Structure 1
Amino acid sequence: MMEPVHRINSHGADPSLGKVKYDIPKFLWNIGMLVGALIFAPLTFSLNVFIGFVLMTYFSLLIGHSAGMHRMMIHKTYECVPWVEKVLIYIGVLVGMSGPYGIIKIHDLRDWAQRQSHCHDFFSHKQNYFKDIWWQLTCKFEFEKPPTISLEAKYADDPFYQWLESSWRYHQLVLAVVFYYIGDWPLVVWGVLVRVSISVLGHWSITYFCHNPGPGNWHVKGASVQASNLPGLGLLTYGECWHNNHHAFPESACIGLQKGQVDPAWYFIKILAFLGLAYNIGKPRHEKLRDDLYTRSS
């Protein structure tokens, strides 16, 4: 298993000091997609288009975001042959949340803040659901004492990832042209506007409920935010609902660690491994290396 990459330098930083401010490009992107979806989706609905939307949304999130960006790119729980890695991250970009560098920054800052003894509600998701989702879709956190984040050269110096980061929004236009020729305007509306809106809303909704304490076996010592498992949602969330497990063992490619915890993204990673396309698969660290954890029953 690979050594974890530490991208955050938190010397002198404080995750609780700062202000939530509007991020205008983020606001225009997410709210624009959502408003467009609300206006045009009812006018263009058909069963075939809806089925296509469901399949595209689910598998782009499963393959691109969960297996590709989250478990491979961010946490490095496994490696892929280079062309497969690039395909997975490209599919993750097509989800429509951000470019690869932006996703790393969003994730790592939140994860760092949650593992401190205190952090702002922007990172802990302790406000009510509607206020939190508004923050996450339209705002950024401006630190008084910010940490620094450094991308590893593998991504920072790669022209392909640089291009994806600078152009990630425009790839939806390419999809829109393809969808128009395949299925006319209904597929454009459901394949771009509705898909991106549901992907972003769904992602942050699961994030919100997974970071408000509920069922789970593990407690991370010293962390101000303890994650939860959400029983019964493994299939719907491609395994990301087992977030208590993930906070305890971020090095593991498998998140559904207990019996009955369905983890579709893990099944996909296993298929890649079977085909010889993925290797160095991370597993939960040995019991002797779990001094940072205790079980909630203990």
Structure 2
Amino acid sequence: MLNILITGANGQLGSEMRRLGAVSPHHYVFTDVAELDITDADAVLETMRRERIDVAVNCAAYTNVERAEEDAATAEQLNCRAAENLARAAAATGATLFHISTDYVFDGQAHLPYTEEDATSPLGVYGRTKLAGEQAVAASGCKYLIFRTAWLYSQFGNNFLKTMLRLTAEREELKVVFDQVGTPTYAGDLALALFSIIEGDRYAGNEGIYHFSDEGVASWYDFAVEIASAAGHDGCRILPCRTAEFPTKAARPAYSVLDKSKVKSMFAIEIPHWRESMLYCLQKLEND
């Protein structure tokens, strides 16, 4: 039986892992900041030793892209130092670390989906600290699998899908940017991929960086239109606009489509189209 540590267990991805872990024959240890402060290296090592952890899945991150620009120190602690603490503890105990990263490590200037080998060039604090976390994990000497993902949403926490559901129900008109393109990714799909790799004992010997998002491509505008249509919020007119119309502290990648060829071939994973997963998530929100 495996002992599996999940950090950030109250977040979107962590909550999906919690749901899956409940039906596993293996022993899952779910922690968030109340149970384990991953910025405390000693606490991380002590927990991994005490629980005899075989696999740690780091779902914790500082994901507020805007706030990170003003609070770089906290973003660095959570996105880099905490990842390093987990990686060093994994190296010391022989555990394998699954670390979740982001499309924000790229600058979004490409016109073809990003592969794992493409040069990184983050635009802001969030992307820089996440890339530093990746580098710290790689330098630690531990066995690791890094999964970069993008545009996560779920029925848990705050995310674009839930915001659009609320706004399109409240408003008669809404502007959404059409010049940022990527792939909406249901956190449940990523969790299922991680779960199947762990449960199938397919991680040993397959260390490295992988990209995972749902299939297909959309702008935020496209995504908003599909959400409103599926929810029956036809009373709200959604208008496309440019990013420049909504100035933000943090620059966003204009193009962040990820190439999933590597993860699909290595682990024989079938990834659903984002629209299919969006409808599934909306159904879950309605039923839960």
TM-score (norm 1): 0.28
- The answer to which structure has the higher strand fraction is 2
- The answer to which structure has the higher helix fraction is 1
